Amino acid sequence: RQKKIIKKEIGEKQFNNIIELSEPIAAASIAQVHIAKIKNENQENQVALKILRPDIEKLFNEELDALMLFAYITENTISKTKRLKLVEVVHLLREITNIEMDLRFEAAAANELYENTKQDQGFNVPQIYWNYTTKKILTLDKVDGISIREHNKLREQGVDLKKLAENLIQHFLKQAVRDGFFHGDMHQGNLFVDHKGNIIPVDFGIMGRLDKNNRKFLAEILYGFIKRDYVKVAEVHFQAGLVPQNASKEEFAQALRSVGEPIFGQSIKDISGGNLLAQLFEITEKFNMATQPSLLLLQKTMVVVEGVARKLYPETNIWEVSRPVL
C-alpha cells in the first residue's frame, strides 16, 4: 500500500530511483517514517521518507469541529474565559494542523530553518530532497545520530552533556529572538545528537513565528528578568500593549518582582517551571491581560526545551545560559 502511495505521488520515474525501502521505523499520529536508499544525481543517498496516513485530514477536521464548538460554548457561557481567547486558540490549532497535513509546508519550514541556522555551530538541520517531496510525502537526509534521551550512549560517545544542555537552550533562543522562526516541538523524540555533539532536529510540522516587535519584547522581558529590573520588564509589557494602559505600572512591576525574586533566591535546580507559570497566569488574570496566541507556542516550547536540558544536566542554570544570547 505504501509503495502504491509513493508511486502515485512522485511518479514512476522517481519511484524507480528508490533502490531500497524499509518497513516503517517510526509511526506518529499523522504519518509514518521509512528509511530508503535513492539514486540522486548519479549518487546513492540514505534518506528518511515520511508518508501521511490515509484519510487523516477528514479525521482531524471532525475533531477540530468538536473542539471549536466546545470553545465557543465555553466563551459564551463563562465570561471569565473571554480573555483566554479559546476560539482564537482553536483557530490557531486548525491553521497549524492544516499546515501539518501538507508535507510541502513542512519541507519549506525545514528548508527555512536550515538556511537560518547553517552558520550556527552545533545545530544541523537535515536537507530536503524536493524532487521526492509532495503533499503526502516528505524526503530528507537520514539522521545519523543517537536520540537525545539516551544519556548513557551519549556519554559513551564522549558527548559533554552539560555543554549539550546549554547548546540546546541557546540554539532555541537564537532561533526565537534572532530569526523569529523556531522549532515548535522540541521534545526528546524529535532531537538527535551525532558523535561530534551536534544537535539534529527532526519533524518540522509545528513551527513558531514571532514578528520583529514580539522578538524585541521577548528579548527585553527575559533580559529584564535576568537583570532583575522589574520596572523595565513592566514598561516593556505596557509598550507592547500586553497590559491595558489604565493599569498601574508600579503595581505590575511589584507583581513581576513576586515572580522573579523567588527564582533568584533558591537553588537553580529547585526552580519549578510549573509554579512560575502558575504565578504568571495569576498575574495576567489580575491585570486582565489577553492571551497572545503567537507567544503561547513559544511558552510551551520553552518549557519543553528547559525540561530536555534539565534531564541532560539537572544543574543547568537557565538564566546564565540565556544571558549571552539575549
Q: Is 65 annotated in the active site? A: no
Q: Are 187 and 168 in contact (CB under 8 A)?
A: no
Among residues 160, 185, 194, 270, which one is catalytic? 185
- Give pLDDT tens digits for 194-248: 999 999 999 998 899 999 888 888 888 778 877 889 998 889 888 877 788 888 8
Which pLDDT value is given to residue 144?
A: 93
Which pLDDT value is given to residue 316?
A: 86
Residue 115 cell numbers, joined = 538556511
| Residue tagged 524585541 (cell numbers) | 216
Q: Are 33 and 49 in contact (CB under 8 A)?
A: yes
Mean pLDDT of the chain: 88
SS3 readout for the chain: CHHHHHHHHHHHHHHCCEEEEEEEEEECCCEEEEEEEEEECCEEEEEEEEEECCCHHHHHHHHHHHHHHHHHHHHHHCHHHHHHCHHHHHHHHHHHHHHHCCHHHHHHHHHHHHHHHCCCCCECCCCECHHHCCCCEEEEECCCCEECCCHHHHHHCCCCHHHHHHHHHHHHHHHHHHHCEEECCCCHHHEEECCCCCEEECCCCCEEECCHHHHHHHHHHHHHHHHCCHHHHHHHHHHCCCCCCCCCHHHHHHHHHHHHHHHHCCCHHHCCHHHHHHHHHHHHHHCCCCCCHHHHHHHHHHHHHHHHHHHHCCCCCHHHHHCCCC
Residue 195 phi, psi (nearest 5): -65, -15
Which pLDDT value is given to residue 201?
A: 97
Residue 252 cell numbers, joined = 505590575
Residue 233 phi, psi (nearest 5): -60, -40
Residue 101 cell numbers, joined = 497535513
The segments of the chain whose pLDDT lies below 50 read none
* CA distances to 125, 177, 255 from 112, in Å: 10, 16, 39
Which pLDDT value is given to residue 311?
A: 93
- Give pLDDT tens digits for 273-305: 556 666 766 777 778 777 666 677 887 888 889
Taking phi over 0 as left and psi of -120 to 50 as alpha, with beta for the rest, 23 belongs to beta
Which pLDDT value is given to residue 296?
A: 73
Which pLDDT value is given to residue 276?
A: 63
Residue 173 cell numbers, joined = 533562543
CA distance 158 to 174: 26
CA distance 221 to 226: 9
CA distance 51 to 109: 17
| Residue tagged 509554579 (cell numbers) | 275
Kindly report the pTM of this predicted structure: 0.81
Which pLDDT value is given to residue 269?
A: 59
